[in-house]
Amino acid sequence: MFTSASALNVTRATLRPKFQKRNSTIRVNRVTRAISVDDVTGAITSTVKEVQSVRGAKDVLQRVALYGVPLTTSVVTIQALHFGGAGLGPAMKIAGLGACAGPLAPLTAIWLFSVVSPYVQAIAGLAGVLQVGEDIPAWFCGISFALAACSLWHYGSAGFTNIWTRHWVVWQLGMATTLLTSTNKVKEVLGRKVDGIRKVALVGPGMVMAALFFQQPSMAAFEAAGFSGPGVLGPVAAAVLHPLWKWFMMFGGLAYLTDAETKYSSLIIGLSMLIVSISIMPQLVAPLGLMGSWMHLYAAITLLKEVTPADSLIPSV
């Protein structure tokens, strides 16, 4: 019934190399399955081929917009660390952002502001654009969006009831939802509910902004960050600032979410998001302007693809 100590030592010495080899092999295989050199080179080649067609170019630009925010923030931070750039500090100050707060603050500080964070964010964002690493980029960047919204923007100095704060919170939560619901695990757990959730994440932020404009909010925070009017598109961009715009957004969003009508609603909301991404958001101080443009551009491309032939850039309703 009992085994002597010497016998146990011999047994452990015999078995350990086999188990160690097996465990290390499992770890290596997991990493290899997630991402490898062949995956990266193959993905780059595939992406280059994609952009040679209208359909592929739209798909690539859609992925760039989806992962544009983590890529932008990571590049700005890396530039400041190694090439003397301004970094995120000045933009965060103008945006009224300070230290992380709330119950998720410790995790957010590590996830978004640790020494390795910008490099991991850059790798994850690039992997997402190139479609490398299975669901890992979507998980990582989705969590990043959620933490930024809940532990950083939520506690900005403008106050949570301010349209500035709510704009960034709802858009980042929308992007987080879009990324996380694209993973196989979430799809497996939620099943058919995923489609409805993704639709809310897509048009919900625009509807929230439209609802806020019914309250005639102060735009002081936007103006402090650089917003000064329609921007480069002039009269075209003035349309989304017109008092009637909020009605189109609200009714269009409701029609889209309920499937009562999806073609014209996709077109109207998609064009509105495109105008905002080109003419309104770029006015904001860097890199906030680019971050806002990426999020609106993703919504615009996704909605306009629903009413545009695959090999065309012109909507057909």
Count of C-beta atoms within a 10 Å radius of residue 263: 14
The span from the CA of 185 to the CA of 140, in Å, is 14
Per the structure block, which two tokens stand in for 173? 């939560």
Q: What is the pLDDT of residue 311?
A: 92
- The closest of 148, 159, 71 to 107, measured between CA atoms, is 148
> What amino acid occupies position 311?
D
Higher-scoring residue by pLDDT: 138, 41: 138
Q: What is the pLDDT of residue 228?
A: 95
What are the tens digits of pLDDT across the range 209-223?
999 999 999 999 999
What are the tens digits of pLDDT across the range 253-303?
999 999 999 999 999 999 999 999 999 999 999 999 999 999 999 999 999
Mean of the per-residue pLDDT values of the chain: 90
Q: What is the pLDDT of residue 14?
A: 44
The span from the CA of 59 to the CA of 50, in Å, is 8
> Does residue 287 have a cis bond before it (omega within 30 degrees)?
yes
Taking a C-beta distance cutoff of 8 angstroms, is the pair 130, 172 a contact? Answer: no
- The closest of 275, 58, 69 to 171, measured between CA atoms, is 69
Per the structure block, which two tokens stand in for 47? 């992406």
The span from the CA of 128 to the CA of 137, in Å, is 5
Confidence of residue 37 (pLDDT cuts 50, 70, 90): confident
> What amino acid occupies position 287?
P
pLDDT of residue 28 exceeding 70, the answer is no
- The closest of 223, 299, 230, 312 to 68, measured between CA atoms, is 299
Sorted by where each begins, the domain ranges of the chain are 53-305
pLDDT of residue 98 exceeding 60, the answer is yes
User: Please, what is the end-to-end C-alpha distance for the chain in angstroms?
Assistant: 80
Q: What is the pLDDT of residue 232?
A: 97
What are the tens digits of pLDDT across the range 8-23?
343 444 444 444 444 4
Confidence of residue 129 (pLDDT cuts 50, 70, 90): very high
- The closest of 308, 314, 224 to 266, measured between CA atoms, is 308
